[in-house]
A = this chain, B = another copy of it.
């Protein structure tokens, strides 16, 4: 399913080893993206922005890559997110996020 942003290989191993934990993560995930007002695209952009300010670069790369492919988010739209990162959180996360975005939208 499209909304499983964080569900890669690592999580699949949990499915075998600890099915109850897996189910509870899957269930939480489902309820997060099941928003009342915001559409899924906006929630994804918010997750991307949080990732950009989080200094965990593999998570940011994966999320931007998925968002580009599944939601067809354009470079301009991504740059509108990064601008907010720049103002709130400065050049350190902005430059890093910019490099990832430049690579993925080359």
Contacts and interface: CB of A to CB of B under 8 A. Distances in A.
Interface of A: 5-6, 8-11, 13-14, 17-18, 20-21, 23-25, 27-38, 42-43, 45-47, 49-51, 53-59, 74, 76-77, 79-81, 83-93, 95-96, 98-99, 102
A6 B17 CA distance: 26
Interface of A (DSSP majority class): helix
Given A24-B27, A25-B28, A83-B21, A46 B49 contact: yes
- Report the copy number of this chain in the oligomer: 6
Given A11-B95, A24-B27, 20 more contacts: A5-B91, A13-B102, A14-B98, A21-B32, A25-B28, A28-B86, A32-B83, A36-B76, A36-B80, A37-B74, A38-B45, A43-B84, A45-B46, A49-B49, A50-B84, A51-B88, A56-B96, A58-B96, A87-B91, A88-B92
